[in-house]
């Protein structure tokens, strides 16, 4: 709302929600120091009568003012407003003020009596929180219910709000006799608000109350320590190595996961070529194999052949035929250097017969013996012979200190389902 001083016609722009539900509000013009009352319902300013002419009416008016000025109950009793004066108008205003001073002794006495009356009737006028002479403690104690938690517009003249400063609130001339002197406002510094706390600070600047509420919260970022990060990297590397090793071992065993879990040590040896897992058929179990002789000899064309021969003994109660023997030769490190599958039940060749043949002739002889060997039946507690040739063996293969030979029956067929009578 816009209020006009009835004496000097200075206009002031004041926020309407500043006064709550009050209808009669008392103001003091900061330009001419005129004290007047404003009726919000009628929207007009009421100038009090002179104390010398109508003392009784003035007393009633002051009593109504005092009722409105009760600071312990409600509202803002007296509001001092200040208009911003441009610099070029200071000299003109100063001359106007000099003309407005009483020219006679009688007028001066009436002015003094009027000010003394106001000071006597309104003790709360000086202690009002919107007057700069109040102390900071009194300002903080006063918090009207009508304006708590709300933004209150500043009281300005027709000039922009940003052009009004606290120093304009102070009067540029000496106040009339009997009026309390206006003291300069103490310097105020914005308090430092720690993080993560809600603050509500009340700033009293000039004739209005500014209540500011804000919240500043900053959560610290969580940082991963170097040790925890390194542990995670190490764990990831170990998991990757285990997965690769598991796949490698399983692949070397033809994805036989059961064999890996049953004997992990042998599976690892097989994966690195240190051992070969030999699968034995159920019918071949109970067949014992023995190496009877092994030697190196030369055949036609001066080629070397390593000859291995032995016997298979049937310890079961069932007659067996078509017995296959797996022969394996390893070095001192356990690495398999030679391996092959021999046929049992063949006629063994002597060393002289072997030296008269070629390598190809020896292989053809073994293939020709396969048909007759498959018909050879090994009864219970009987044995049968086998023979095999390894062409071009490595040097020293016949030395038992450097190489080892092993043989095992891996497959067989039951010749009869009826157990033999012992």
282/160 same-domain check? no
Distance between CA atoms of 145 and 115, rounded to whole angstroms? 31
> What does the pLDDT read at residue 297?
92
For 71, the token pair is 């600071």
Is the predicted pLDDT of residue 172 greater than 50, yes or no? Answer: no
45/175 same-domain check? yes
> What does the pLDDT read at residue 225?
60
What number is the average pLDDT over the span 141-159? 45
Residue 203 lies in a domain: no
For residue 396, the domain's CATH number is 2.60.40
201 vs 320: which has the higher pLDDT: 320
User: pLDDT tens across 83-109, in order?
Assistant: 444 555 555 555 555 555 545 567 777
276 vs 311: which has the higher pLDDT: 311
Pick from 270, 288, 322: which residue ends a domain? 270
Distance between CA atoms of 194 and 120, rounded to whole angstroms? 46
Pick from 270, 302, 323: which residue ends a domain? 270
> What does the pLDDT read at residue 229?
80
Number of domains making up the chain? 3
Ranking 107-116, 272-281, 362-371 by mean pLDDT, the lowest is: 272-281
For 167, the token pair is 């120093």
User: pLDDT tens across 224-272, in order?
Assistant: 566 778 888 999 999 999 887 777 666 555 555 665 566 666 666 666 6
Torsion of CA 162, 35, 176, 96, to 10 degrees: 70
Residue 193 lies in a domain: no
Output the CA angle 261-264-270, nearest 5 degrees.
120
- Say if residue 60 is exposed, middle or buried (CB neighbours under 10 Å; 0-12, 13-18, 19+): exposed
% residues pLDDT > 90 (the chain)? 12
For 121, the token pair is 């009737």
57/174 same-domain check? yes
Task: Work out the mean pLDDT of the chain and round it to a whole number.
Answer: 69
149/19 same-domain check? yes
Is the predicted pLDDT of residue 288 greater than 80, yes or no? Answer: yes
149/249 same-domain check? no
> What does the pLDDT read at residue 171?
42
Give the position of tokens 């030769």: 329
pLDDT confidence tier of residue 34, bands split at 50, 70 and 90: confident
> What does the pLDDT read at residue 307?
93
Residue 200 lies in a domain: no
31/110 same-domain check? yes
> What does the pLDDT read at residue 113?
75
Residue 172 lies in a domain: yes
pLDDT confidence tier of residue 197, bands split at 50, 70 and 90: very low
310/261 same-domain check? no
Residue 204 lies in a domain: no
Look at phi and psi of residue 43 and say left if phi exceeds 0, alpha if psi is from -120 to 50, else beta: left
What number is the average pLDDT over the span 3-32? 80
pTM: 0.38
Pick from 170, 186, 202: which residue ends a domain? 186
133 vs 334: which has the higher pLDDT: 334
pLDDT confidence tier of residue 79, bands split at 50, 70 and 90: very low
Is the predicted pLDDT of residue 165 greater than 70, yes or no? Answer: no
> What does the pLDDT read at residue 377?
87
Residue 192 lies in a domain: no
> What does the pLDDT read at residue 4?
85
Residue 191 lies in a domain: no
Instruction: Give the chain as a 3 state SS string.
Output: CEEECCCCCCEEECCHHHCCCCCEEEEEECCCCCEEEEECCCCEEECCCCCCCCHHHHHHHHHHHHHHCCCCCCCCCEEEECCCCCHHHHHHHHHHHHHHCCCCHHHHHHHHHHHHHHHHHCCCCCCCCCCCCCCHHHHHHCCCCCCCCCCCCCCECCCCHHHCCHHHHCCCCCCCCCCCCCCCCCCCCCCCCCCCEEEEEEEEECCEEEEEEEEECCCCCCCCCHHHHHHHHHHHHHHHHHHHHHHHHHHHCCCCHHHHHHCHHHHHHHHCCCCCCCCCCHHHCCEEEEEEEEEEEECHHHCEEEEEEEEEEECCCCCEEEEEEEEEEECCCCCEEEEEEEEECCCCCCHHHHHHCCHHHHHHHHHHHHHHHHCCEECCCCEEEEEEEEECCCCCCCCCCCCEEEEEEEEEEECCCCCCCC
Q: Is the dihedral of CA 259, 260, 262, 267 positive or negative?
A: positive
Distance between CA atoms of 401 and 331, rounded to whole angstroms? 9
Of 13-27, 87-101, 109-123, 161-175, which has the strongest mean pLDDT?
Answer: 13-27
In 3D, which of 186, 204, 67, 48 has the Cα closest to residue 131? 204
302/245 same-domain check? no
Is 78:125 a contact under the CB 8 Å cutoff?
Answer: yes
Residue 199 lies in a domain: no
% residues pLDDT > 70 (the chain)? 51
What number is the average pLDDT over the span 134-140? 48
Q: List the domain range (segments joined by +) for residue 147.
A: 2-186
> What does the pLDDT read at residue 70?
46
103/164 same-domain check? yes
User: pLDDT tens across 253-262, in order?
Assistant: 555 566 556 6
Please state the length of the chain.
422
User: pLDDT tens across 382-408, in order?
Assistant: 999 999 999 999 988 888 888 989 899
> What does the pLDDT read at residue 290?
92
39/170 same-domain check? yes
Give the position of tokens 């013009």: 29
237/256 same-domain check? yes
Output the CA angle 36-41-47, nearest 5 degrees.
15
Distance between CA atoms of 57 and 63, rounded to whole angstroms? 10
111/147 same-domain check? yes
> What does the pLDDT read at residue 310?
93
**What radius of gyration do the chain's Cα atoms show?**
60
């Amino acid at each position: 709302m816009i209020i006009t001083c009835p004496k000097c016609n200075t206009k002031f722009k004041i926020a309407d929600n500043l006064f709550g539900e009050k209808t009669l509000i008392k103001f003091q013009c900061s330009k001419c120091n005129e004290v007047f009352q404003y009726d919000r319902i009628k929207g007009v300013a009421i100038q009090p009568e002179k104390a010398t002419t109508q003392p009784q009416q003035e007393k009633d008016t002051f009593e109504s003012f005092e009722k409105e000025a009760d600071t312990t109950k409600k509202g803002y009793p007296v509001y001092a407003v200040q208009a911003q004066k441009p610099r070029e108008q200071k000299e003109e205003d100063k001359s106007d003020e000099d003309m407005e001073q009483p020219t006679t002794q009688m007028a001066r006495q009436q002015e003094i009596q009027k000010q003394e009356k106001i000071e006597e009737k309104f003790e709360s006028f000086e202690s009002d929180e919107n007057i700069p002479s109040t102390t900071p403690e009194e300002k903080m104690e006063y918090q009207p219910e009508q304006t708590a938690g709300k933004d209150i517009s500043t009281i300005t003249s027709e000039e922009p709000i940003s052009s009004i400063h606290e120093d304009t609130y102070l009067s540029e001339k000496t106040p009339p006799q009997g009026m309390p002197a206006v003291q300069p406002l103490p310097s105020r510094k914005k308090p430092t608000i720690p993080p993560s706390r809600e603050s509500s600070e009340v700033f009293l600047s000039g004739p209005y109350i500014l209540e500011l509420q804000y919240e500043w919260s900053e959560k610290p970022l969580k940082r991963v320590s170097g040790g925890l990060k390194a542990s995670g990297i190490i764990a990831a590397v170990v998991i990757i190595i285990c997965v690769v090793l598991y796949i490698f071992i399983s692949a070397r065993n033809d994805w036989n996961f059961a064999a890996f879990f049953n004997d992990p040590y042998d599976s690892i040896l097989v994966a690195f070529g240190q051992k070969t897992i030999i699968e034995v058929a159920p019918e071949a179990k109970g067949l014992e194999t023995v190496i009877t002789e092994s030697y190196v000899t030369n055949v036609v064309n001066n080629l070397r052949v390593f000859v291995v021969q032995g016997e298979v003994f049937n310890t079961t109660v069932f007659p067996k035929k078509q017995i296959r023997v797996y022969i394996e030769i390893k070095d001192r490190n356990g690495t398999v250097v030679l391996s092959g599958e021999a046929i049992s039940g063949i006629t063994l060749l002597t060393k002289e017969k072997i030296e008269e043949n070629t390598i190809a002739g020896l292989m053809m002889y073994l293939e020709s013996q396969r048909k007759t060997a498959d018909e050879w039946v090994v009864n219970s507690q009987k044995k049968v012979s086998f023979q095999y040739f390894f062409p071009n063996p490595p040097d020293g293969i016949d030395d038992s200190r450097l190489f080892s030979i092993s043989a095992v029956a891996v497959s067989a067929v039951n010749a009869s389902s009826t157990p033999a009578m012992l």
